Amino acid sequence: MTARLLDGVALAATTLEAVADGVAEYTASNGRRPCLATVLVGDDPSSHVYVRMKVNRSRKVGIESRRFDLPESTTTDELLSVLGRLSADPTVDGILLQHPVPAHIDERAAFEAIDPRKDVDGVTRTSFAQMAFGEPGFRSATPGGIMRLLDAFDVPLAGASAVVVGRSPILGRPVGMLLLAADATVTLCHSKTRALADEVRRADIVIAAVGRAEFIRGAWIKPGAVVIDAGYNEGNVGDVEFDAAAERASLITPVPGGVGPMTIAVLLDQTLHAARHSAGLDG
């Protein structure tokens, strides 16, 4: 068996075409473009790359991008002040705080300083609760992208056994809630999980979000399972041993080109949604 690729690049392109059309319509009706404010603290090279990609994609679909680069020495209070001003600014529709922030900053406090109506990256407690209860709201961007991939490739979720490896508050936990809302039977695994390989072997759907290169071995994958690799490690390597897993899975995301493009597509789609909601429009 050779797995079919879950092509995030193609799906993201289709999504962004629709976003561009929606942005043009919004701009014509409201006299301004939707606006995404991006806040970056410190000098982490990877974070700068990610922010640059998001800014470039924003511009391509017509979304105004405002970038705020803060020094490594920024305190929690100073960051909260910036986020508070952006939350109160009626010309800003979405706010993205690039994570992780430097270790001395209270990241959770920073996330909670974002107005939930502008939380287009889905990082606040309000957004998490909305995901957990199946209520309207913003999905965490990467989990939201994963769910769109599964839907686009007609992966049956109701009754499926889904194993999520990783429990971060912006990836593992929210994707578990979204899968549960789609009627999957969800197991959240982590560093304390006993017999992790056995948990993965019984899964119809595996979500790898542990942040360790090739941590999920190909031999663990159940024949015919769907594998979503949300990891990205040095050397363009995911969290799954790709070649070996692809021999057993029915569908698998490549790294890069799988989950990553969908993360940005969801972020920008949700920025448009936030703008439309603020203007009292449907959608």
Domain map (residue ranges) of the chain: 31-115, 141-260
Domain 31-115 CATH (choose: 3.40.50.10860, 3.40.720.10, 2.60.40.1180, 3.40.50.720): 3.40.50.10860
Please name the residue that has the structure tokens 């924003």: 58
Residue 283 has pLDDT above 60, yes or no: no
Separation of alpha carbons 209 and 226, rounded Å = 14
pTM: 0.95
pLDDT in tens, 203-231: 999 999 999 999 999 999 999 999 999 99
Q: Which of 93, 115, 119, 121 is catalytic?
A: 121
Note the CATH number of domain 141-260: 3.40.50.720
- Give pLDDT, residue 273: 98
Task: Render pLDDT for 25-65 as a digit per residue (tens, 0 to 9).
Answer: 999 999 999 999 999 999 988 899 989 999 999 999 999 99
pLDDT tens readout for residues 94-141: 999 999 999 999 999 999 999 999 999 999 999 999 999 989 999 999
Neighbours of 257 (CB within 10 A): 16
pLDDT at position 282: 66
Asked if domains 31-115 and 141-260 share a fold, the reply is: yes
pLDDT band at 1 (very low <50, low <70, confident <90, very high): low
CA dist., res. 117 & res. 6, Å (int)? 31
Residue 69 falls in the annotated catalytic set: no
What would the two tokens of residue 85 be? 């001003």
270 is catalytic: no
Residue 15's pLDDT is: 98
Per residue in 151-206, pLDDT (tens digit) is: 999 999 999 999 999 999 999 999 999 999 999 999 999 989 999 999 999 999 99
Q: What is the pLDDT of residues 61-86, one digit of tens each?
A: 999 999 999 999 999 999 999 999 99
Residue 2 above 90 pLDDT?
no
- Within a 10 A sphere around the Cβ of 279, how many other Cβ atoms? 13
The catalytically annotated residue of 93, 98, 239, 269 is 98
- Write down the pLDDT at residue 275: 98
Please give the Cα distance from 72 to 214 (Å, whole number). 31
- Secondary structure (H, E, C), the chain: CCCEECCHHHHHHHHHHHHHHHHHHHHHHHCCCCEEEEEEECCCHHHHHHHHHHHHHHHHCCCEEEEEEECCCCCHHHHHHHHHHHHHCCCCCEEEECCCCCCCCCHHHHHHCCCHHHCCCCCCHHHHHHHHCCCCCCCCHHHHHHHHHHHHCCCCCCCCEEEEECCCCCCHHHHHHHHHHCCCEEEEECCCCCCHHHHHHCCCEEEECCCCCCCECHHHCCCCCEEEECCCECCCECCECHHHHHCCCCEECCCCCCHHHHHHHHHHHHHHHHHHHHCCCCC
* Annotation says 121 is catalytic: yes
